[in-house]
Structure 1
Amino acid sequence: MPVGTTVWRLLTRLDAALLATVLAGWLRSRTRLAAARRPPRYRTVIAVDGKTLRAARQPDGSQIHLLSALDTSTGIVLAQVTIAAKSNEIPAFAPLLDAVETVLGSLNDILFVADALHTQTSHANEIAARGAHLLVQVKRNQPTLYGQLKTLPWPQIPAGDRTRDRGHGRRETRTVKAVTLHTPGGIAFPHAQQAVRVTRTRTTTSGKTSRETAYLTVSLPAIHAQPTDLQDWIRRHWHIENMVHHVRDVTFREDLHQARTGTGPAVIATLRNTAIGYHRTNGDTNIARATRRPLDLITDVTSSYPTTQ
């Protein structure tokens, strides 16, 4: 049996992108029956977000940063790309779409949900060219677009959906309003079909109340994106943080892992994504408890290949 250092030397020489594609395809093959039973209104929603491996520092002191795409319905990370040194997530967005398309075969009618960093004209055009759709938040770092959304006649627009939750010592109400963009030329963002406003009102047990307002655009018309859908899709962006990144940090202690050789950091992150996705597809919600049954995963991998010794 090879020792740990031998295994590590192998891992650091693997093509991290290819490994992520192969393992994501294997996980999806285990969920195809469930996918066939989805309701007619179902839409695949993919959350995009980045994560820094804080302890994996390069010789020049820079940190490894990865951009990932999560299928929010299955908990499977479909693709992961490494951000180039001295760069950011924006140039890596198109390669991430390429990787997702390799796994799925097509991006037609898929909805991508991303944070304000990806409210980029090039991203909207790239996604539209592939037949997909984009839901993104708009912040003040884009003053023209933000101003256009903020000055829409929101007081005259009725609330489309409202949800109330309790937990973590507070009550939260989320109200969604959406309006079709009929203005000449739309707004300063290509392919935007609707403007969305989300108002979050939080009240703590001490009685303190706070309110937060967020503005978004979506490239789907109202007939395909009702306020109840938008409410659900907006919250799904948090899935990649809660279901993957948080688990990698807390359960796998990823931010303490100092490995930085070759493709090692990205490969190890992919293996963690695969373990998490495997347990999610088995219906496990407590990943820490599920990882105490490593033979389940080993058996499933080896049983797929009868010649494996």
Structure 2
Amino acid sequence: MPALPSSLITSLSCAPALTVPETAGGLPAALAGLPDPRARRGVRHRLVVVVTAAVCAVVAGYRSYAAIAEWVADVPAATALALGMTPDRRPSEAMIRRLLQAMDPQLLTAAIGVWLAERGTANTSTADRAIAVDGKTLRGSRTPGTAARHVMTACDQSTGVVLASIDVDGKTNEITRFAPLLDQISDVRGTVITADALHCQRDHVAYLTERGAHWILTVKGNQPSLHRQLAGLPWRAVPDATRDTDRGHGRREIRSLKILTISTGIDFPHAAQAIQIRRRRRRLDQPKRFTTETVYAITDLHVHQAKPAQLAAWIRSHWSIENKIHWVRDVTYDEDRSQIRTGTGPEVMAALRNAAIGAIRLTGATNIAAANRHHARDSTRPLALLGIT
């Protein structure tokens, strides 16, 4: 006997029955090729069904294994049928937990990333595509005897969709995982890869050049010789290529960008242009106190390949990934206080959150918390979002 619908989910007792997605497109089709880590004997619920239901629950704002199981138990029979479940035999919390703790998060992220990328490019041009590479520590996964897990992701700048993800364990670091991460993306030809100063590495540039990708890399103290060379360029004689002002959060920020074409004197392979970004900030209640930050970057893009405004947009969008993905997971989904620690559970839950955030952003929504509440009020809404109905 299925549980009664909760107050957050609309009862569909009077609604027409939804079809079981045996050949449906959407997320279930994208997940169909994932390997099931369970022994074949005794499997009652297909991996595609359980993972799709979990993503639906996360879209509705649910954060834990127990909460996902409650969403599954509470949805009306018509919704359960649409997901591919028998209404009177639904996945339990223990079954959901064991499966998600054993899945390969890298394959899961790749499958979801391909699906979201196809949706994201359906109505937009793929020209001038940029992918940001960034890492995040899953602080909630820390235990008394182990360090917190660290995950590095590749994210489409324009849509905020995570395209690939890879675990960075304690025996290595982000530098060695850069190429394996981007290897998960089948084609990066003509794509601009942006990364922070840690990835300003000659090996990375050689790898990206071999794959036909362009790059914009921040330069800081980890490359002291290169940083000195860039800082020593005649920036005072160079006019601002772009300049803009922004107000918000009780402060004013003035951003300017200068560009110099590199001919000689910069010891870095394939470097075509040097970039200086200067940010001056002041609090609105302290009009005479400015703080100034100067950052340098380098790129293989030539003048005819990217205008200054486009370079400025790519650099700024790379920094905004922190707000689009990481901040939402930490604040809206409370990831840093998550108690999920066993197996691959932390990385898999991060992949489910990325899937929910990406699918919501592709609808044009910017307030993820409001979108979670919207989808929690009607169990058919997450299905429609994921292409099931």
Q: Calculate the TM-score normalised by the size of structure 1.
A: 0.91
Q: Greater CA radius of gyration, 1 or 2?
A: 2
Q: What are the superposed Cα offsets for residues 182-203 of structure 1, whole Å, 9 maximum, x if unpaired?
A: 11xx522211110000111123
Q: Distance in 2 between matches of 1:285 and 1:264?
A: 27
Q: What are the superposed Cα offsets for residues 37-96 of structure 1, whole Å, 9 maximum, x if unpaired?
A: x6xxx4011111100011202563211000011101112100111112232111110111
Match of 1:233 among 296, 314, 317: 314
Please say if residues 57 and 258 of structure 1, whose CA atoms lie closer than 8 Å, have aligned partners that are also in contact.
no
Please say if residues 278 and 297 of structure 1, whose CA atoms lie closer than 8 Å, have aligned partners that are also in contact.
no
The corresponding residue for 1:3 is 92
Read off the aligned partner of 2:362 and give its amino acid letter.
Answer: T
Deviation at 1:302, TM superposition (A): 6.5
Deviation at 1:139, TM superposition (A): 0.8
Note if 1:16 corresponds to 2:105: yes
Read off the aligned partner of 1:280 and give its amino acid letter.
Answer: R
Identity of aligned residues (%): 45
Q: Which runs of 5+ in 2 are unaligned?
A: 1-89
Please say if residues 47 and 239 of structure 1, whose CA atoms lie closer than 8 Å, have aligned partners that are also in contact.
no
Please say if residues 241 and 258 of structure 2, whose CA atoms lie closer than 8 Å, have aligned partners that are also in contact.
yes
The corresponding residue for 2:51 is none
Q: Distance in 1 between matches of 2:349 and 2:357?
A: 12
The corresponding residue for 1:25 is 114
The corresponding residue for 2:217 is 136
Deviation at 1:16, TM superposition (A): 1.1
Match of 1:112 among 193, 198, 219: 193
Q: Which runs of 5+ in 1 are unaligned?
A: 305-309
Note if 1:77 corresponds to 2:155: no
Q: Distance in 2 between matches of 1:189 and 1:156?
A: 23
Q: Distance in 2 between matches of 1:2 and 1:32?
A: 34
Match of 1:124 among 201, 205, 217: 205
SS at match of 2:137: strand
Note if 1:175 corresponds to 2:256: yes
Match of 1:202 among 277, 281, 302: 281
Note if 1:188 corresponds to 2:267: yes
Between 1:291-300 and 1:66-75, the stretch displaced more is: 291-300
Deviation at 1:26, TM superposition (A): 1.7
Q: Distance in 1 between matches of 2:115 and 2:311?
A: 30
Dislocated runs of 4+, deviation >6 Å: none
Q: Distance in 2 between matches of 1:301 and 1:225?
A: 35
Q: Distance in 2 between matches of 1:297 and 1:26?
A: 16
SS at match of 1:100: coil
Please say if residues 162 and 354 of structure 2, whose CA atoms lie closer than 8 Å, have aligned partners that are also in contact.
yes
Read off the aligned partner of 1:98 and give its amino acid letter.
Answer: D
Q: Distance in 2 between matches of 1:126 and 1:113?
A: 14
Structure whose residues are more often strand by fraction: 1
Q: Calculate the TM-score normalised by the size of structure 2.
A: 0.73
Q: Distance in 2 between matches of 1:270 and 1:147?
A: 39
Structure 2 CA distance for partners of 1:162 and 1:263, relative to 1, 3 Å: same
SS at match of 2:382: helix
SS at match of 1:246: helix
- 1:1-309 → structure 2 map (5 Å cutoff): 1-36=90-125, 42-57=127-142, 60-101=145-186, 106-183=187-264, 186-205=265-284, 206-207=286-287, 208-292=289-373, 293-294=375-376, 295=379, 296-301=381-386, 303=388
The corresponding residue for 2:77 is none
The corresponding residue for 1:307 is none
Structure 2 CA distance for partners of 1:221 and 1:134, relative to 1, 3 Å: same
Deviation at 1:142, TM superposition (A): 1.4
